[in-house]
Amino acid sequence: MSASERSGQELRPSQRAGAVDPFIVMDVLRDAQAMEASGVDVAHMEVGQPGGKAPRKVLEAARRAIEEDDLGYTEARGIAPLRERIAQYYAERHGVAVSPQRVFVTTGSSAAFTLALIAAFDTGARVGLANPGYPAYRNILHALNLKPVLLEAGPQAGWAPQAEEMSAHMAAGMKGALLASPVNPTGAMLSREELSALVRVVEEAGGIYISDEIYHRLTYTEEAETALAYSDNVFVINSFSKYYAMTGWRVGWMVVPEALCRAVEVLAQNMFINAPTISQYAALAAFDATDELEERKRQYAENRALLLRELPGMGLAEFAPAEGAFYLYCDVSSLTTDSVALARRILREAHVATTPGVDFDPVNGHRYLRFSYCAARADIEAGLERLARWLQRNAP
């Protein structure tokens, strides 16, 4: 008999933990990997995992760091050379001057979101999120006792939050917003005019704007703009996971308003100490791997073109703009009103892993599936072939 059985007490999660929903795409990945372990070949179109290894120069830098054994603690903000290189990035790509003192290297963008939200908002604050949007935003807010306010960003809003709705919520007491461009899951991108207007509305109401820019450099129509072009008082969050193909290295960065730098530093010291040291040295080399990374982006673009060409012929012709990132958010309401059940059937019967839209949109997501196209071309082709055969047998 266990100690808990002898005591007669049943352990339960805290109310905060109980308020956090599952990250469904990770459940899909778990189920797909279980199928693979049993010998089933699965085409992965569910998770935003760039195909292939990290860039060669990144791997070489990591090896050098191991050989030199320079892997102790760093300061909470991150190693100075990497912070300086990140500041240089904004000058080169956006013409924006950023002090390295405002740059924090973080344990992936996930740590950056947590640090920014704690530093920016008091318990109970209402924070605007685009809907559909990245589900971890809502879940982190719930875990931190913050309240998400969903801003319409579906087809009826042109796939972007509207400044008028933002203004109304700010007037009603909302304290700020966390918005991405390009967006997961839709691939939609805020225009310069839209981004400028949203930042202005939040700041004029005395709120704080947090800009998720982790899919920057993964755009197919035009370059994405940074919120730093419109204000020094925004949080900007980026990551080495997506464009730089370093997901498991767990390293990202954030640019922090100067007035909040010390608060973020203290939080980082206590919550994370520092981002993985080896990953920081490796990330420094990522900025010199552009040729390899642009070739990988070209492959994403080819996969994107393949989906845009093939899905309409399968009866799936309604989807979000897919201007950036590596996702296609597809309306499947002609097939189902339960995207979770549909995704499970497609995985079980067609051996194709996709993500149900309810992960990203608790209101209308039952009508959508997200297809990730960052895997190898052969995997995307196999997934589409299997999906086409399955739809021929099962579509109404």
Q: Look up residue 150 and give its two tokens.
A: 């969903």
Please calculate the CA angle 145-150-155 and round it to the nearest 5 degrees: 160
End of a domain among 286, 309, 332? 286
Question: Does the residue 351 lie in any domain?
Answer: yes
Distance, CA of 103 to CA of 235 (rounded, Å): 10
Distance, CA of 241 to CA of 99 (rounded, Å): 23
Question: Does the residue 11 lie in any domain?
Answer: no
> Domain range spanning residue 268?
56-286
- Same-domain pairing of 281 and 171: yes
- Same-domain pairing of 30 and 170: no
What global pTM score does this model have? 0.94
Report whether pLDDT(6) > 80. Answer: no
Residue pLDDT, tens place only, 331-361: 999 999 999 999 999 999 999 999 999 989 9
- Same-domain pairing of 35 and 142: no
Q: How confident is the model at residue 14 (pLDDT cuts 50, 70, 90)?
A: confident
- Same-domain pairing of 133 and 260: yes
- Same-domain pairing of 22 and 86: no
Q: Are 1 and 327 in contact (CB under 8 A)?
A: no
How much is the pLDDT for 26?
84
Question: Does the residue 2 lie in any domain?
Answer: no
Q: How confident is the model at residue 105 (pLDDT cuts 50, 70, 90)?
A: very high
Mean of the per-residue pLDDT values of the chain: 94
How much is the pLDDT for 8?
60
Report whether pLDDT(242) > 80. Answer: yes
Nearest to 245 by CA among 205, 200, 295, 209: 295
DSSP string, 210-277: EEE-TTTT-BSSSPPPPGGGT-SSSEEEEESSSTT--GGG--EEEE--GGGHHHHHHHHHHHTSSS-H
Question: What percentage of the chain reaches a pLDDT higher than 70?
Answer: 97
Question: Which residue matches tokens 């030199």?
Answer: 68
CATH code of the domain in which 226 resides: 3.40.640.10
Distance, CA of 100 to CA of 111 (rounded, Å): 19
Residue pLDDT, tens place only, 35-82: 999 999 999 999 888 988 999 999 999 999 999 987 999 999 999 999
Q: Are 294 and 159 in contact (CB under 8 A)?
A: no
Q: Look up residue 64 and give its two tokens.
A: 């050098």
- Same-domain pairing of 100 and 133: yes
Residue pLDDT, tens place only, 193-238: 999 999 999 999 999 999 999 999 999 999 999 999 999 999 999 9
Question: What percentage of the chain reaches a pLDDT higher than 90?
Answer: 89
Question: Does the residue 321 lie in any domain?
Answer: yes
End of a domain among 239, 261, 286? 286
Distance, CA of 112 to CA of 328 (rounded, Å): 26
What angle separates helix 56-68 from helix 277-286, to the nearest 10 degrees? 140
Count of structural domains within the chain? 2
- Same-domain pairing of 139 and 215: yes
Per the DSSP assignment, residues forming a β-bridge with 178 are: 129, 210
Distances in whole angstroms, Cα of residue 394 to Cα of each of 54, 160, 229, 390:
39, 33, 49, 6
- Same-domain pairing of 123 and 193: yes
- Same-domain pairing of 274 and 304: no
Question: Which residue matches tokens 């197919």?
Answer: 220
End of a domain among 286, 317, 342? 286
- Same-domain pairing of 239 and 358: no
Report whether pLDDT(102) > 70. Answer: yes
126 secondary structure, DSSP code: E
Q: How confident is the model at residue 10 (pLDDT cuts 50, 70, 90)?
A: confident
DSSP string, 264-289: HHHHHHHHTSSS-HHHHHHHHHHTT-
- Same-domain pairing of 107 and 175: yes
